[in-house]
Amino acid sequence: MRILHTMLRVGHLEQSIAFYRDVLGMQELRRRDYPEGKFTLVFMGYQPESEGAVIELTYNWDTHFYDLGNGYGHIALEVENAEETCNKVRARGGKVVREAGPMKHGSTVIAFVEDPDGYKIEFIERRSHLSD
């Protein structure tokens, strides 16, 4: 078994695609409209789906806002340097919600950014992520 994807419901598809593509550097891997169901699925990732897990953006044509609830956590991405990655995100118009620094009660360097729908994405700095 392996993880295939994580699905996120998004309110504004093109803004979400732009964030994951232009801010986080993912590629649009595939897209399919389902007119009878009035929804679109877009799969975004860093490598082909056959090689690793991806993000599925689900856009329901008649819904433009979702309550994220209190059960959702975040998506985690491994990065070489969390501070530099935050600077790149900011330069590309993204929103940093927690600057790079050691995690509470640990030494792993992390940071958080937020996508257009409010989903959190954690950056975990590669050189220290296995220490905690």
Residues 86-90 have a mean pLDDT of 97
Q: In what order do the strands lie in the sheet with 39-45?
A: 5-9, 54-60, 39-45, 27-34
The 10s digit of each residue's pLDDT in 91-104 is: 999 999 999 999 98
Model confidence at 129: pLDDT above 70: no
| pLDDT score at 14 | 97
Token pair recorded at residue 18: 């732009």
pLDDT tens, residue by residue, 25-82? 999 999 999 999 999 999 999 999 999 999 999 999 999 999 888 778 999 999 999 9
Going along the chain from its start, the domains and CATH numbers come out as 5-60 (3.10.180.10), 75-128 (3.10.180.10)
Average pLDDT over residues 4-13: 96
Q: Is the pLDDT of residue 132 over 70?
A: no
Is 28 among the residues known to form the active site? no
Q: Which member of 56, 78, 99, 122 is catalytic?
A: 122
